[in-house]
Amino acid sequence: MTQSALTDSLRHLDLRRFREVSLLVAGDFMLDEYIWGRVGRISPEAPVVVVRVERETRTLGGAGNVVHNLAALGAKAAVLGLTGRDRPAEHLREKLTALGVDAGGLFADPDRQTTRKTRVVGEQQQVVRIDRETPLPGGPEYVRFALDFARARLPGVQGLILSDYAKGALPPELAPELIRLARERHLPVVVDPKGRNWRRYAGATVLTPNQKELEEVLGRPLGEAAELAARGQELRARLNVACLLVTQGARGMTLLDEAGALHLPARTPREVFDVSGAGDTVAAVLSLGLALGLPLPQAAALANTAAGVVVTKRGTAPILPGELERELTGYVHREEKVVSLRDLRFILAHLKAQGKRVVFTNGCFDLLHVGHVKFLEDARRLGDVLVVALDSDASVRQVKGEGRPILDQEQRQRLLAALAAVDYVTLFDSAELPRILAELKPDVLAKGSNYPEEQVAGREVVEAYGGEVRLVPIREDISVSGILHQIRNG
């Protein structure tokens, strides 16, 4: 069966079913930190650039990125891992809690450092990466905790993911026991492997190595597809796993199971910006497919489709339901700029982790006119990304009275999305504004200068978390009320 035929078979998959799935993710949870700044000179102390720091951001890495993908698709996750007892561990827990994930399965070892990768970026160019970690296997106390936790949580999940980055959270005596416990309950086990000793993954359902990792384990480069298939099948049989899904970057993936070898090419030609995190997306989406009962080829095709999306994004970023649906169906329900508040949370977290400055504004934008356009263009210049929160029809009636809006919310969203200055449009009710600002934490809240700053709704929320309120000068004395008056009076 070809990738095209497999994708066609997934065309009617209801992605809302992901919300029914809960998975246990065990492995190396890491904190990815970014220090963003400008480069203006060379240091007089050594031949290195001086980076003037402007901002710092943090995001989930390693097994945390697997959880990020699951949460973005609406699935639930339980986590099992190993951290230090330090501030980075607190940041990890905060990030997981923000996704609605219980971080109680993270074991804090006071003798360890939480694994942390700090990247210094000057003028969008990575200057240096600093790794802080304790790459030693977790001790007996952690192993006992992990097994007790797994026994308690496995009855309530539909699958197990082992995300191994060789940082100590899956020591040799733990991984086989986790696999055994899950398989006893007939749960699918997906492993993103690391290192050369894959015997500890024996009995798993699927291993998802990239081709380089497979070559390192086999101790030889793999040339033709036939050689990859033959050597991979031998390894699969020795390990007693149902499938090897070998990821091959821009070439797609190769599925090796009892039925033989099936190559799944990348679905469409596209520009690959960044493959980092693509393996995490594959593990997450493949596991969701298996948890829903999809056959291995279909689950692999679903994962291949998702990976084809995330490699077009810069940095690690999750796949969103709307993106996956567009790839599977080829149908765009609405402009790509128009997103739900739920998806916007994930989109902005990714953009801010890249160092982007997010500007947020809100309003009715009924009968879009040149004053609106100039305001939005000026607001966009305050940062890198402009998000417009549009009052729903009910919200407009509450604010403006009966007879408004003139254009319904669907038309107003499409008009705003057509503007080059607008990056994202989302629908909201005005009463929700404080909560939305607290969740999204835009860097700038922009309003027209016809609002006194002290009367800007949401000002206190934005300033409390360190954002700023900017009043944009109104350059055109135009109002919708004035336009309506002119129309009504001929």
Average pLDDT over residues 212-230: 91
DSSP track, 275-319: -TTHHHHHHHHHHHHHHTT--HHHHHHHHHHHHHHHTTSSSS-PP
- The answer to whether residue 334 is domain-embedded is no
- The answer to whether residue 477 is domain-embedded is yes
Give me the chain's average pLDDT, please: 90
pLDDT tens column, 174-202: 999 999 999 999 999 999 999 999 999 99
pLDDT tens column, 386-397: 999 999 999 999
pLDDT of residue 249: 82
Distances in Å between the Cα of 309 and the Cα atoms of 224, 277, 282, 375 are: 26, 11, 11, 33
pLDDT tier for residue 273 given thresholds of 50, 70 and 90: very low
- The answer to whether residue 335 is domain-embedded is no
| One domain for residues 100 and 192 | yes
Q: What tokens appear for 321 in the block? A: 């339901």
DSSP track, 405-469: -SS-HHHHHHHHHTSTT--EEEEE-GGGHHHHHHHH--SEEEEETTS-GGG-TTHHHHHHTT-EE
Residue whose tokens read 């074991």: 107
| One domain for residues 254 and 379 | no
- The answer to whether residue 441 is domain-embedded is yes
| One domain for residues 374 and 304 | no
How many domains would you assign to the chain? 2
3-state SS, one letter per residue, for 33-76: EEEEEEEEEECCCCCCEEEEEEEEEEEEEEHHHHHHHHHHCCCE
pLDDT of residue 490: 62
Average pLDDT over residues 342-358: 88
pLDDT tens column, 116-130: 999 999 987 899 999
- The answer to whether residue 336 is domain-embedded is no
pLDDT of residue 332: 44
In this predicted structure, the answer to whether residue 23 has a pLDDT above a threshold of 90 is: yes
In this predicted structure, the answer to whether residue 331 has a pLDDT above a threshold of 60 is: no
| One domain for residues 484 and 459 | yes
pLDDT of residue 257: 94
Choosing from 277, 301, 329, the residue where a domain stops is 329
Average pLDDT over residues 446-452: 84
| One domain for residues 97 and 129 | yes
| One domain for residues 314 and 221 | yes
pLDDT of residue 315: 66
Which CATH number is 444's domain given? Answer: 3.40.50.620
In this predicted structure, the answer to whether residue 375 has a pLDDT above a threshold of 60 is: yes
Print the domain residue range for 469.
Answer: 341-488
Between β-strands 116-122 and 106-109, what pairing exists: parallel, antiparallel or unpaired? unpaired
- The answer to whether residue 153 is domain-embedded is yes
List 49's β-bridge partners, or say none: 42
Write the CB contacts of 383 (distance below 8 Å, at least 6 apart in sequence).
Answer: 356, 357, 358, 359, 443, 444
pLDDT tens column, 279-311: 999 999 999 999 999 999 999 999 999 988 888
| One domain for residues 68 and 136 | yes
Q: What tokens appear for 449 in the block? A: 């200068």
pLDDT of residue 12: 84
- The answer to whether residue 167 is domain-embedded is yes
pLDDT tens column, 83-116: 999 999 999 999 999 999 999 999 999 999 999 9
In this predicted structure, the answer to whether residue 270 has a pLDDT above a threshold of 60 is: no
pLDDT of residue 333: 46
pLDDT tens column, 134-170: 989 999 999 999 999 999 999 999 999 999 999 999 9
Between β-strands 206-207 and 189-192, what pairing exists: parallel, antiparallel or unpaired? parallel
Q: Which residues are catalytic?
A: 280
pLDDT of residue 124: 79
- The answer to whether residue 35 is domain-embedded is yes
In this predicted structure, the answer to whether residue 277 has a pLDDT above a threshold of 60 is: yes
In this predicted structure, the answer to whether residue 476 has a pLDDT above a threshold of 70 is: no
| One domain for residues 303 and 372 | no
| One domain for residues 207 and 323 | yes
The proportion of the chain whose per-residue pLDDT surpasses 70, expressed as a percent, equals: 92
Q: Give the whole-angstrom CA distance, residue 272 versus residue 249.
A: 9
Which CATH number is 213's domain given? Answer: 3.40.1190.20
Q: Give the whole-angstrom CA distance, residue 60 versus residue 43.
A: 32
pLDDT tens column, 46-85: 999 999 998 888 999 999 999 999 999 999 999 999 999 9
| One domain for residues 309 and 412 | no
| One domain for residues 310 and 444 | no
| One domain for residues 100 and 34 | yes
